[in-house]
Copies of this chain bind each other. A is one copy, B any other.
Amino acid sequence: MSRALQWYDAHHDALQSARKACHTREYFSLFAETPDKHPAGEQGPAAGRATFEAMLGRPFEIDQPGTIGYVGDEISPYTCTPLGIEYPRANVDALFDAARRAMPEWARAGVRERLGVCMEIIARLHARVFESAQAVMHTAGQSALMSYAGSGTNALDRGVEALAYAAAAMEDVPAGAVWERRFGSTNIRLRKKYTLVPRGVAVCFTCATFPTWNAYPAMLANLATGNPVIVKPHPSGILPMAIAVRVFRECLREAGYSADLVTLCPDTSTQPLGKILVKHRHTAIVDFTGSAAFGSWVEANAAPALCFTETSGVNTVVIDSVEALEPVVKSLATTMSLFSAQMCTSPQNIYLSRDGIRCGGRRVSVDEFSMSLAAAMTAIAEDSKRAGPILAAIQSPSTLSLVDEMRAAGAKAGRVLMEPKAYRHADFPHARTCSPLLLEVPAGRTSLYGQERFGPIGFVIPVGEEDVDALATAARDARKGGAITAFAYSTDETWIERAEAEFSTAGAQLTVNLTGPMPLNFAAAYSDYHVTGLNPAGNATLTDLAFVTSRFRIAQSRRL
């Protein structure tokens, strides 16, 4: 039995459980959610750190073809010093040529072989999750826990979920059929054979702040359906993807396939390769996570290649009425502080009536709400034990400039509820940090809040009667500016129904009346559909059938 089939058998039950979970959409994970339960035991984190540190200041070798030099100028948001790692800069055509040479054999491999290799890749990525977490921390600026859970186990689960859908979509096509019909007086009996054909080379763009979470599903969906993958990481976050590419290549080679089915194509911000890769004549699929600007260029220019995008948007909160204010404010403060709002699901705009919020028997004024929220966020930023784990670090210096710019514009248009400033990280005194900027601006100032303001920037937006109401305004802004998530609070079931209708039309995934320790924007693999495709925040959902069904095609042969 081939290595790939052995792996398929070894991971069969896990994949079947994942497939079941995709249908029930109940809680499921293949992995322990907390680092202390990782099979590597207590030594895991330290060993991962040691492996990471051994990589610093030297070339990261990948034995892929077409290396024509080295690139790499990553800087850790935690130390603000260069990682000093150099990655093979590739001749783009050489990567495509190698991928295309490798493809026919991989296409001929059966579905089970491909799924076996993909599941083994998942297992090995999990084994090395502490190493990968360090890489994510020191490029994206995520906290240790988020690097482990969000960028590690949860991202791997999203990868498995994509494999589950790929398996289902491919199984939908039978291997063959016998077809029989009379034509006139003659019985015609045809044997038909149906073959899954991969589409071609996929290019996977990964973003700076959360690379693995979208990359694993896209890479695995492509590979499972037979397509080679060229990974184009954001120039400031190459290492997590370089580690992943190495693992993918290792498993492919061990299974007897060409490692060149997965390669890395790093570039620099001064010499970007993005458009060249999208327009390459051999690009058949583009998976893109990144800015809305480049994302919409990809959507308009990828054809004839397929494209799957997740960009960004204006995630909104609408507060109509609450039983108690404090738990709502606490949840909002934590979620808006989490990873300094550098997540595609972070809420940005809070809409409420200019008349305030109904709360039990009384009415909370806009002012009272704003002050409570600012106080709760300030408390996080000023608590040396909580600030680091929650706010983490700022990935890009340009985010600090944006915060400054928004502070100035916000002060002019409205008022500053919370002043942003660097906070001192307990473990990394040189970390690039910034406590959140919270602004109150009048409804209608969409030039400020109508698009994603990436980073720790929030807006409280009181809505008067001239704008219908807070809910309608929020839903309209979400639809127009794009939105992945929306959050609503109300004690009124009729209002909640209306919110569900408004946000489903706007295409933002809604969370209602959530308080407590779960981050409001937590998206669970196998259960939460991520991105609807109904607004400009992206066209692809993690994970639905549409994420996988067009990645392969069906050829048939029939004969008497």
Interface residues of A (CB under 8 A from B): 23-27, 33, 104, 168-169, 172-174, 177-181, 183-184, 186, 188, 190, 192-195, 197, 199, 299-300, 302-304, 496, 500, 503-505, 507, 509-518, 524, 527-529, 532-534, 539, 541, 544-546, 549-550, 553-560
Contact = CB atoms under 8 A, between A and B. Distances in A.
Given A179-B25, A518-B183, A549-B549, A197 B558 contact: no
Given A190-B514, A513-B560, A532-B553, 13 more contacts: A23-B172, A23-B174, A194-B529, A299-B303, A302-B303, A304-B539, A504-B557, A511-B557, A514-B559, A516-B560, A528-B558, A533-B553, A549-B550
A517 B189 CA distance: 12
Given A549-B544, A553-B532, A527 B183 contact: no
A304 B300 CA distance: 7
List 9 tightest A-B contacts by C-beta distance, closest first: A504-B555, A512-B559, A25-B177, A546-B549, A546-B550, A183-B517, A545-B549, A510-B557, A188-B518
Given A26-B177, A178-B26, A180-B26, A534 B553 contact: yes
A560 to B, nearest CB: 6
Contacts of A509: 555-558
A458 B334 CA distance: 71
A170 to B, nearest CB: 10
A193 B25 contact: no
Contacts of A186: 516-518
Contacts of A181: 27, 33, 518, 524
A431 to B, nearest CB: 25
B557 A512 contact: yes
20 contacts: A24-B177, A25-B174, A33-B181, A181-B518, A190-B514, A195-B504, A197-B507, A197-B532, A199-B533, A299-B304, A303-B303, A510-B555, A510-B556, A511-B559, A516-B560, A528-B558, A545-B545, A546-B546, A546-B550, A549-B550
A26 B179 contact: yes
A527 B188 contact: no
B197 A27 contact: no
Contact of A534 (B24, B197, B512): B197
Contact of A541 (B104, B192, B510, B553): B553
Contacts of A192: 25, 527-528
A523 to B, nearest CB: 10
A252 B181 CA distance: 35
Contacts of A302: 303
A527 B179 contact: yes
A245 to B, nearest CB: 26
Contacts of A194: 25, 529
A168 B544 CA distance: 13
Contacts of A553: 507, 532-534, 541
Nearest to A302: B303
Number of this chain's copies in the assembly equals: 2
A415 to B, nearest CB: 32
Contacts of A533: 199, 550, 553
Contacts of A496: 559
Given A27-B179, A303-B299, A303-B303, A556 B544 contact: no
B169 A545 contact: yes
A168 B545 CA distance: 11
Q: Which of A169, A500, A558 has the most C-beta atoms of chain B within 10 angstroms of its own C-beta?
A: A558
Given A188-B518, A507-B197, A544 B534 contact: no
B555 A534 contact: yes
Contacts of A500: 193, 195, 557
Contacts of A179: 25-27, 524, 527
B517 A559 contact: no
Contacts of A168: 172
A513 B558 CA distance: 9
A239 to B, nearest CB: 29
Contacts of A174: 23-25
A485 to B, nearest CB: 10
A446 to B, nearest CB: 19
Contact of A529 (B183, B303, B512, B554): B554
A300 B529 CA distance: 29
Contacts of A557: 500, 503-504, 509-512
A172 B24 CA distance: 10
A514 B25 CA distance: 47
Contacts of A507: 197, 553, 555
Contacts of A188: 516-518
Contacts of A545: 169, 172, 545, 549
Contacts of A515: 560
Contacts of A169: 545
Contacts of A503: 555, 557
Nearest to A284: B534
Nearest to A188: B518
Nearest to A506: B555
A183 B556 contact: no
Given A27-B181, A303-B299, A532 B554 contact: yes
